[in-house]
Amino acid sequence: MKDLVRMRTSLKEEIERILNEQIKMEAHSSAIYLSMAAWCDRNGFDFSAGYFYKQSNEERNHMLKLFNYVSDMGGHAISPEVTNVPQEFDGFRDVFELALQQEIAVSNAINRIVGQARQLNDFATDQFMQWFVKEQIEEEYVARRAVELFDVIGEEGVGRYMIDKAIPKITYGDVEAQ
């Protein structure tokens, strides 16, 4: 008897499900960053707005990368429904703390996928997800550094203006550029 399930896809159902969950999470992250960009624009933090627009695009690209993978492997990639996107934030610092929390949540989710892929001997997905593991090192670094700037520069006086200007200059692994 032919193995119709395996002929359709090499992805196990559980892996397909968690990859689709990750697609949804990346789409949600992209939407949150877009909302943060708009908030920064409304409140005069122009450079930070640019930073969040860029982040939003990156998250969407991550989503597409996962989406293409699921489709290429014969799986059913689900175009996600994005809801519950916050539109208001308590303050400038709060925006960046929330961004860091979001990145940490994404890292944890990616680690869970890798763990599950290894448990199910899905080495293709494990290998594919390694790009995301590396990417999250950078994403978390940048988000953490942004929060750190609030302590290093301070919010008093022209502090917020200075922080806003410094945000887009944060890069991972190149101290000279900062």
Partner 1 sequence: MSNTLPLTELFASSKGATYQCDTTNRIIIQFGEARVSLRISDFLTFKKRVDSVDIHTMIFNTDDAYDVEIIDAPRTGHLFVLSLCDLIALRDLLAGTRFVLDLNTLLNERIYSSLVY
In the complex, the smallest distance separating the C-beta of residue 43 from partner 1, rounded to whole angstroms, is: 42
Whether residue 59 is annotated as binding a ligand: the answer is yes
Q: At what angle do helices 46-72 and 159-166 cross, to 10 degrees?
A: 30
Q: Reduced to 3 states, what is the DSSP secondary structure of residue 167? A: helix
CA distance 139 to 99: 10
CA distance 140 to 110: 13
**175 is a contact residue toward partner 1 (CB under 8 A):** no
Whether residue 103 is annotated as binding a ligand: the answer is yes
In the complex, the smallest distance separating the C-beta of residue 72 from partner 1, rounded to whole angstroms, is: 15
End-to-end CA distance of the chain: 62
Which residues are CB-contacts of 50 (< 8 A; sequence separation ≥ 6)? 37, 168
Site for partner 1 in 88-147 (CB under 8 A): none
- Which span sits near partner 1 by CB under 8 A: 3-11, 41-49, 50-58, 139-147? 3-11
How many of the chain's residues bind partner 1 (CB under 8 A)? Answer: 10
CA distance 178 to 170: 6
In the complex, the smallest distance separating the C-beta of residue 129 from partner 1, rounded to whole angstroms, is: 22
Q: Which is nearer to partner 1, 1 or 175 (CB)?
A: 1
**4 is a contact residue toward partner 1 (CB under 8 A):** yes
Residue positions forming the annotated binding site for Fe cation: 26, 59, 62, 103, 136
